[in-house]
Structure 1
Amino acid sequence: MSLKDEALNYHKNPKPGKTEIKVTKPCLTQDDLTLAYSPGVAEPCLKIHKNKQDVYQYTNKANLVAVLSNGTAVLGLGNIGPEAFKPVGEGKAVLFKKFANVDAFDIEINAKTSEEIINVTQALEPTFGGINLEDIKAPECFEVEEKLKEKLNIPVFHDDQWGTAIITGAAVINSLTLTNRTWGDLTTVISGAGAAGIAMGRLLCHLGHKKEKIILVDSRGVVYTGRKDGMNKYKNEFAIKTDKRTLADALDGADCFLGVSVRDTVTPDMIKKMNKNPIIFAMANPDPEIPYDLAKKTRPDAIVGTGRSDFPNQVNNVLGFPFIFRGALDVAAKAINNEMMVAASEALAELARNSVTKEVKDAYGMADLAFGPDYVIPKPTDRRVLYHVAPAVARAAIETKVARKHIDIDTYVYMLQRKIEPSRRILKPIFKNAARKGRKIIFPEGDEPVILQAAEILLGDALAKPVLVGNTKKIQAAAEQSKVDISAMEILDPVKHPDRKEYAKKYLELRRRKGLTKKEADKRIKRPVIFGAMHLRLGNAHGLVVGQNLYYRHSLIPLFQILPTAKEVEHAIGAYVIIPNNENISPIVLGDATIGIKPSKKDLAESGKLLADLAESIGLDPVVAFLSHASFGSSPDEEAARIQAALRLFRNKWPEIPADGEMQADVALNTKIIKKTYPFSPLANESRVNVLVCPDLDSANISYKLLQSLGEAHLVGPILLGMKHPVHVLERHCGVGQVVELAALAAAQEYE
């Protein structure tokens, strides 16, 4: 199927368009309908009538943006009309929702003049929390935005102007750093004097660029003082005294080229005459002013970017508008001003200088992706853009007094992180606890890129002091390739370590009655996981995390051979904390999902206690359900009897913890069923079960894998419970986030 056919089919089937309205309140019963509409709806109406600002509390206005256009400058298609703009408007709404959870509705208006557009948009102000102007041709777009900003008390943002300018601004900020320039040094040529080009010049000036060192070029040549042909008041802003008349003249001796014009307007000879280490962003859509490959071949010393996703340094507006509106809406801003746009550029630039996550690297198949000439702006798939840009915009709105609502920015950052990293809901207190203690955590896979990236985060956020175990040269080489600074991290090389023989001796003492010989002990101690476990056992660190590139049991066995279980614990277990995507549903602790194949009744009872303790450590009041295929004696077989016996043992030993069983999973998680069908159960008096004890490894493992695959919840784990020392075994090939979570958990845990 051709791209044309595929795109048409995508938009047509199975339902035309890309968006729909979603109901956010229950509307099942007569009572629900009474509240949703008449007579209940009168109450918020009266509140808003008394105070118009209450519309932000009782309606969707606080999170609703209009994507508004008259279709006179649609992408690269030109003046194709409002109806033909609608697929673009719907697409923009999709991006708003996907990237920043902003509800957006496309508004297509049949308006030709600036005055008509302004009047229609002004009339829509009561409905929307913000207006995103889109695809309105120049110069009308300038007047429309200016007038609406004067008239409206909600944010108005013309993305064709400012979106490109903000992302490009971030790219230039970082390019200055990489080329050892300052704003005062920079001479910039902007090719294209439409909406994006003018906005780009304005924003560069707000960032610190000298206006007299910006050369604006349009289809007639350089915009210079005194030029009459093809001029308007917006171009006159950037008219300068110069003898340069053509684009070629302008690029001779320039430091930076920013193109928002048409394809193939820049030749190799032109950029050869630019200064050393030129900055070249050719962003004409769909084909740039000079092809990326040709620009790099002609000037290998250049930092080059385009608007295309198939080359480095893509200037993509999706890095801007969703997050700018997110920050503006969350403080009920009256406008999006220059300071807020500068804050967005600076936040994007800062994020690009941070380490790139494994998730982003994997998405682009670029393991060595890092800040440098080929990476000066973040990738659109970097989920961290949300909690870097939106808070920066919100802070600027508060500081410049356009915010109606003042918020604590640190709390706001945490709230946004929770949206894309649900584990923050439960791990924040653990992270805080870890940060206070500064404990050493051993990583036996010290040369793994994922481990190194996680170690950098742990050290940078003061969550733990990473100890990297392995061949020193390999660790250093891997760190250099991953662009991770390990200068402040401890490295233990088992082969060269001065205590290696002493560790081998102690290891032999532990295992000599288990078939281990001195020769074998001397050999095995060189293995990082065994050396790391001995280092921990002998009191030289607080915890250990292993398994990123090892099979689970291959990591587990040496830990079990060297490290003891906690007091009064016979068998360790593996648990997961399940965090449902629905924030209204509390987390659930599940186990044993990784170790005990067919636990005895005593093992199950002990598992229940370990899982309950974990639930309590993350802020839950444990309510325990022992799961089975049957509920409360409905199936008199040996398996159900084993669960019943485990429950009796649990209740006898820990009567203070609410628990019941055996029961099916749906019964355990539905308090209404328990109260109605099994009112005799002590769990009928509890709010909700939050600890699930599975009958065997198969059921627990299958359950968490299904949840993980279906994407209905975020899982934290596997968490190893029942060991004396805080140790955790990772899922093989896990991401950086999981390593950080389990290492922080180990740092926060106490010795048993």
Structure 2
Amino acid sequence: MSSHVDQIFHDHRGGKLQTGLRRPLETAADLSIAYTPGVAKVCQAIAEDASLAATYTWTSHLVAVVTDGSAVLGLGNIGPKAAMPVMEGKAALFKRFGGLDAVPICLGTTDPDEIVAAVTAIAPSFGGINLEDISAPRCFDIERRLDEALDIPVFHDDQHGTAIVVLAALRNALELTGQDIEDLKIVIVGAGAAGIAVAKMLHSAGARGLIVCDSKGIIHPGRADLTPIKTEIAGMTNLDEVSGDVGVALTDANVLIGVSGARVDEDAVARMAPEAIVFALANPTPEIDPDVAAKYARVVATGRSDMPNQINNVLAFPGIFRGALDAGAESITEAMALAAADAIADCVGDKLTEDFIVPSPLDPQVSLAVARAVRHAAETAAGSAADTSVTG
């Protein structure tokens, strides 16, 4: 174990990123083109037509990975400096799987107004904004405001990346169990960024039997302690207005999606319907032990790389940004998100089994398929007033 830890620290020494040159800088002529005086002509052209920036700078393939360090992985509010290794890792994944350059930006504020102002101010330098590890409920308002203010894609991966991969996994799980999403009772344990986004994504995909639980139990309109976002969720889920704890919610449920880290008792899972599906996605400790869940469920997935069916955001975000930037999209829409989920699910193909409902995060074909699907959806929807941003 000690040698493994030593290796981790060794491989992080100096960080995981560096910049490189796309053109040589070996001669005086090289310098005169890349910098003064040649660069002035490009600057003047962009000043006259701002759209040329996408052609003559790296902004068309550059993403800002922005955090305030308030909700990092399973570590919580560790602050911006401690969040940097994760943001560097995210940027590395953008490069490896999406062919996109990315710059990690860790902000020294948790004030929503200051975050929105800071990101808006730096936005001209980027082609897209990936918000990362910003705690709920602030993350909802920050993303919405930035999406409205900017003409480049804004995407909070903790919300929408998770939701997209969950939908892809669920579609393949339902292929195995022979069920339709419209007929399911789906319980989501966790009403933070991921839980809210999963509920909205599944609703968009046709799910109507949704129940969302937070730390105080089932969310329903009669609760007086609901935040605005939970009030919104109460209006689109739990149509029978059931109240109670997670055990009540899981009685005869077809699907459990855990995105909270809260422990789910075996007795509660035992109450689920036959052919149940359990996605216990908390890291590093799933909401219920996968081996225990498998006693009652046909399909079990986690967020861990050392277990079957890893539901990992890397299956989504590199291809989503690649497709959105290639299409010149100004936002990432619901149609693009649904297309991404379909593409991820389709990558499994005829290899589909109970232990393989999503492709490997290391499969390079996934991001290519997602990028194509997202670009097609963006171009198809261009100019359509009916399409809405995922933040809506």
**TM-score scaled by length of structure 2:** 0.94
Partner-residue secondary structure (3-state), 2:233: coil
Partner of 2:244: 245
**Contact 2:312–2:361 (CA under 8 A) maintained in structure 1:** yes
CA distance in 1 between counterparts of 2:221 and 2:65 reads: 37
Partner of 1:11: 12
Q: CA deviation at 1:56?
A: 0.4
Partner-residue secondary structure (3-state), 2:123: coil
> Which one-letter code corresponds to 2:114 in the other structure?
E
**Counterpart check, 1:232 vs 2:230:** no
**Contact 2:219–2:243 (CA under 8 A) maintained in structure 1:** no
**Counterpart check, 1:401 vs 2:378:** no
- Indicate which of 38, 41, 44 corresponds to 2:42: 44
Partner of 1:80: 78
Q: Cα distance 1:390–1:402, how it changes in 2: closer, same or farther (>3 A)?
A: farther
Partner of 1:121: 119
Q: CA deviation at 1:387?
A: 2.4
Task: Spell out, residue by residue over 1:650-680, the C-alpha distance to the aligned partner (whole angstroms, 9 max, x if none).
Answer: xxxxxxxxxxxxxxxxxxxxxxxxxxxxxxx
Q: CA deviation at 1:238?
A: 2.2
> Which one-letter code corresponds to 1:120 in the other structure?
A
CA distance in 1 between counterparts of 2:293 and 2:181 reads: 23
Partner of 1:619: none
Task: Spell out, residue by residue over 1:554-590, the C-alpha distance to the aligned partner (whole angstroms, 9 max, x if none).
Answer: xxxxxxxxxxxxxxxxxxxxxxxxxxxxxxxxxxxxx
CA distance in 2 between counterparts of 1:93 and 1:352 reads: 26
**Contact 2:218–2:242 (CA under 8 A) maintained in structure 1:** no
**TM-score scaled by length of structure 1:** 0.50
**Contact 1:215–1:238 (CA under 8 A) maintained in structure 2:** no
Q: CA deviation at 1:182?
A: 1.1
CA distance in 2 between counterparts of 1:402 and 1:177 reads: 34
Q: CA deviation at 1:402?
A: 6.5
**Counterpart check, 1:209 vs 2:207:** yes
Q: CA deviation at 1:330?
A: 0.9
Q: CA deviation at 1:58?
A: 0.3
CA distance in 2 between counterparts of 1:402 and 1:86 reads: 38
CA distance in 1 between counterparts of 2:84 and 2:346 reads: 35
| Greater radius of gyration (CA) | 1
CA distance in 1 between counterparts of 2:377 and 2:106 reads: 31
- Indicate which of 301, 316, 319 corresponds to 1:323: 319
CA distance in 2 between counterparts of 1:183 and 1:134 reads: 29
Task: Spell out, residue by residue over 1:81-131, the C-alpha distance to the aligned partner (whole angstroms, 9 max, x if none).
Answer: 111111111111111101111100001111221111111111111100000
**Contact 1:334–1:402 (CA under 8 A) maintained in structure 2:** no
Q: Which runs of 5+ in 2 are unaligned?
A: 385-392
CA distance in 1 between counterparts of 2:374 and 2:48 reads: 30
Partner-residue secondary structure (3-state), 1:124: helix
Q: CA deviation at 1:242?
A: 2.5
CA distance in 2 between counterparts of 1:18 and 1:373 reads: 35
CA distance in 2 between counterparts of 1:305 and 1:185 reads: 21
**Contact 2:309–2:356 (CA under 8 A) maintained in structure 1:** yes
Q: CA deviation at 1:250?
A: 0.2
Task: Spell out, residue by residue over 1:180-237, the C-alpha distance to the aligned partner (whole angstroms, 9 max, x if none).
Answer: 1112201100000000000000111111112xx21100111110111013x2111112
CA distance in 1 between counterparts of 2:312 and 2:57 reads: 32
> Which one-letter code corresponds to 1:40 in the other structure?
G
Counterparts of residues 142-153 of structure 1 (less than 5 Å): 142-153=140-151
> Which one-letter code corresponds to 1:4 in the other structure?
V
- Indicate which of 359, 366, 373 corresponds to 1:378: 359
Task: Spell out, residue by residue over 1:590-620, the C-alpha distance to the aligned partner (whole angstroms, 9 max, x if none).
Answer: xxxxxxxxxxxxxxxxxxxxxxxxxxxxxxx
> Which one-letter code corresponds to 1:164 in the other structure?
T
Q: Cα distance 1:382–1:109, how it changes in 2: closer, same or farther (>3 A)?
A: same
Counterparts of residues 149-160 of structure 1 (less than 5 Å): 149-160=147-158
**Counterpart check, 1:67 vs 2:65:** yes
**Contact 1:335–1:402 (CA under 8 A) maintained in structure 2:** no
> Which one-letter code corresponds to 1:393 in the other structure?
V
**Contact 1:353–1:376 (CA under 8 A) maintained in structure 2:** no
CA distance in 2 between counterparts of 1:402 and 1:281 reads: 37
**Counterpart check, 1:342 vs 2:342:** no
Q: CA deviation at 1:347?
A: 0.7
Q: Which runs of 5+ in 1 are unaligned?
A: 355-369, 404-752
Partner of 1:391: 372
Q: Cα distance 1:378–1:50, how it changes in 2: closer, same or farther (>3 A)?
A: same
- Indicate which of 303, 306, 312 corresponds to 2:302: 306
CA distance in 1 between counterparts of 2:198 and 2:360 reads: 20
Q: CA deviation at 1:345?
A: 0.3
CA distance in 1 between counterparts of 2:299 and 2:326 reads: 36
Task: Spell out, residue by residue over 1:267-314, the C-alpha distance to the aligned partner (whole angstroms, 9 max, x if none).
Answer: 222112111100100001111001111111x22x52100001111111
Task: Spell out, residue by residue over 1:434-458, the C-alpha distance to the aligned partner (whole angstroms, 9 max, x if none).
Answer: xxxxxxxxxxxxxxxxxxxxxxxxx
Counterparts of residues 446-465 of structure 1 (less than 5 Å): none
CA distance in 2 between counterparts of 1:220 and 1:272 reads: 21
> Which one-letter code corresponds to 2:118 in the other structure?
V
Task: Spell out, residue by residue over 1:416-472, the C-alpha distance to the aligned partner (whole angstroms, 9 max, x if none).
Answer: xxxxxxxxxxxxxxxxxxxxxxxxxxxxxxxxxxxxxxxxxxxxxxxxxxxxxxxxx
Task: Spell out, residue by residue over 1:376-413, the C-alpha distance to the aligned partner (whole angstroms, 9 max, x if none).
Answer: 1111122211221100000111111179xxxxxxxxxx
CA distance in 2 between counterparts of 1:35 and 1:17 reads: 31
Q: CA deviation at 1:353?
A: 2.1
> Which one-letter code corresponds to 2:10 in the other structure?
N
Counterparts of residues 620-639 of structure 1 (less than 5 Å): none
Q: CA deviation at 1:4?
A: 3.2
**Contact 1:176–1:182 (CA under 8 A) maintained in structure 2:** yes
Partner of 2:389: none
CA distance in 2 between counterparts of 1:316 and 1:120 reads: 29
Q: CA deviation at 1:244?
A: 3.1
Partner-residue secondary structure (3-state), 1:236: helix
Counterparts of residues 85-96 of structure 1 (less than 5 Å): 85-96=83-94
CA distance in 1 between counterparts of 2:45 and 2:87 reads: 33
CA distance in 1 between counterparts of 2:88 and 2:203 reads: 33
> Which one-letter code corresponds to 1:138 in the other structure?
A
CA distance in 1 between counterparts of 2:145 and 2:374 reads: 22
Partner of 2:387: none
CA distance in 2 between counterparts of 1:142 and 1:390 reads: 25
Question: What CA RMSD, in Å, does the superposition of the two structures yield over aligned residues?
Answer: 1.3
Q: Flag as ranges the 4+ runs of structure 1 deviating above 6 A.
A: none
Q: Cα distance 1:346–1:215, how it changes in 2: closer, same or farther (>3 A)?
A: same
Q: Cα distance 1:402–1:122, how it changes in 2: closer, same or farther (>3 A)?
A: farther
Which structure exhibits the higher relative contact order, with contacts defined as CA atoms closer than 8 Å and separated by 6 or more residues?
Answer: 2
> Which one-letter code corresponds to 1:29 in the other structure?
T
Partner of 2:388: none
Q: CA deviation at 1:2?
A: 4.0
CA distance in 2 between counterparts of 1:243 and 1:147 reads: 33
> Which one-letter code corresponds to 2:123 in the other structure?
E
CA distance in 2 between counterparts of 1:98 and 1:253 reads: 42
Partner-residue secondary structure (3-state), 2:364: coil
**Contact 1:352–1:376 (CA under 8 A) maintained in structure 2:** yes
